[in-house]
Amino acid sequence: MPTRETTASRPGRCPCQSGDSYSDCCGPLHDSLAIAPTAERLMRSRYSAFAVGDVGYLLSTWHPSTRPPAFELDATLVWTRLDVERTERGGPFDTDGVVEFTAQCRAGGIRSRQHEVSRFVRVDRRWLYLDASD
């Protein structure tokens, strides 16, 4: 399992491809210094958590009704690109939202992609990942 990097130990651009540095983008979310204001922001921070190996963040942002009891990341995957294709609702005043995206990765020199339509719900002002379909 990859070792989780803290905001301070991970310089450079954020894996979510916002254009911001990790320490100004998903890092504060991963370090519990901020919460995602929208469903898309949560989805981007979860993608970044996959990229930096932050299993704890993934579990903590997963709705309890669908969260697995344990979760391991595939250490052979290197996440390389995120394309957000559409969002429905998921704003600061919504209670649910949908984010469709394609994430690209490679493992052992082989490139692949994962297309997903993810559903999110907001509970007590906090966005949580609910489930997804292809």
15, part of any domain: no
Span 79-115, pLDDT tens digits = 999 999 999 999 999 999 999 999 999 999 999 999 9
Task: Name 85's Cβ contacts closer than 8 Å, sequence gap at least 6.
Answer: 100, 101, 102
Q: Find the CATH number of the domain harbouring 37.
A: 3.10.450.50
Residue 3 lies in a domain: no
Q: Is 87 within a domain? A: yes
Find the domain containing 48 and state its range.
22-133
Q: Does residue 14 sit within a domain? A: no
Cross-strand pairs, 128: 121
The total number of structural domains in the chain stands at 1
| Inside any domain, residue 1 | no
Q: Is residue 11 part of a domain?
A: no
Q: Residue 16: inside a domain, yes or no?
A: no
Q: Is residue 12 part of a domain?
A: no
Structure confidence by residue, pLDDT tens digits, 43-64: 999 999 999 999 999 999 999 9
Q: Which two tokens stand for residue 19?
A: 């254009």
> Which residues does residue 96 pair with via DSSP β-bridges, in sequence order?
121
Q: Is the pTM of this model over 0.85?
A: yes
Return d(Cα 103, Cα 87) in angstroms, integer.
Answer: 15
